[in-house]
């Protein structure tokens, strides 16, 4: 009986660890490059885990059309654990990262300070401009 209980508690701790490792927080960002979203990527198309128009959180892209600039790229790299961005742009302007076919879920990101540590300190819109498609997915090089 004692043996059975300790096995169960070990299993429970193990499952908790797996859950924590896989937990996606709302607002989490990651990079995409040629079908990979490896956490070791330092450059790629930006994906964010955020509420879609359906209300549930999902992974999607950020539109790089008008307000997206160096401040915004810096904040994304800061959030990923790097010290700002060296460059950024539209996915359609390079063949480096492939095409990320996820929907665009964040538009008009504006960060008033490039030292912010997370995009949630910036303003942004979940109403997506018609100009936002895969070729306008924002990429960053951290």
Interacting residues with Ca ion (CB under 5 A): 61, 65-66, 100, 102, 107-108, 129, 134, 137
Q: How far is the CB of 99 from Ca ion (least distance, A)?
A: 7
Name the residue nearer to Ca ion (CB basis): 102 or 141.
102
Tokens representing 28?
A: 């989490």
| Minimal CB distance residue for Ca ion | 129
Taking the C-alpha atoms of residue 72 and residue 123, their distance in angstroms, rounded to an integer, is 10
Q: How far is the CB of 104 from Ca ion (least distance, A)?
A: 6
Q: How far is the CB of 4 from Ca ion (least distance, A)?
A: 49
Taking the C-alpha atoms of residue 32 and residue 34, their distance in angstroms, rounded to an integer, is 7
Name the residue nearer to Ca ion (CB basis): 27 or 98.
98
């Amino acid at each position: 009986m004692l043996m059975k209980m300790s096995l169960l508690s070990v299993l429970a701790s193990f499952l908790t660890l797996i859950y924590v490792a896989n937990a996606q927080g709302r607002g989490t960002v990651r990079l995409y490059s040629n079908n990979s979203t490896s956490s070791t990527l330092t450059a790629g198309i930006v994906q964010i885990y955020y509420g879609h128009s359906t209300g549930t959180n999902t992974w999607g892209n950020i539109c790089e059309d008008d307000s997206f600039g160096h401040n915004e790229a810096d904040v994304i790299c800061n959030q990923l654990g790097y010290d700002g961005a060296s460059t950024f742009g539209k996915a359609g302007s390079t063949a480096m990262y492939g095409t990320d076919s996820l929907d665009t879920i964040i538009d008009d990101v504006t960060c008033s300070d490039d030292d912010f540590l997370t995009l949630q300190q910036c303003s942004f819109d979940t109403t997506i401009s018609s100009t936002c498609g895969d070729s306008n997915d924002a990429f960053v090089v951290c």
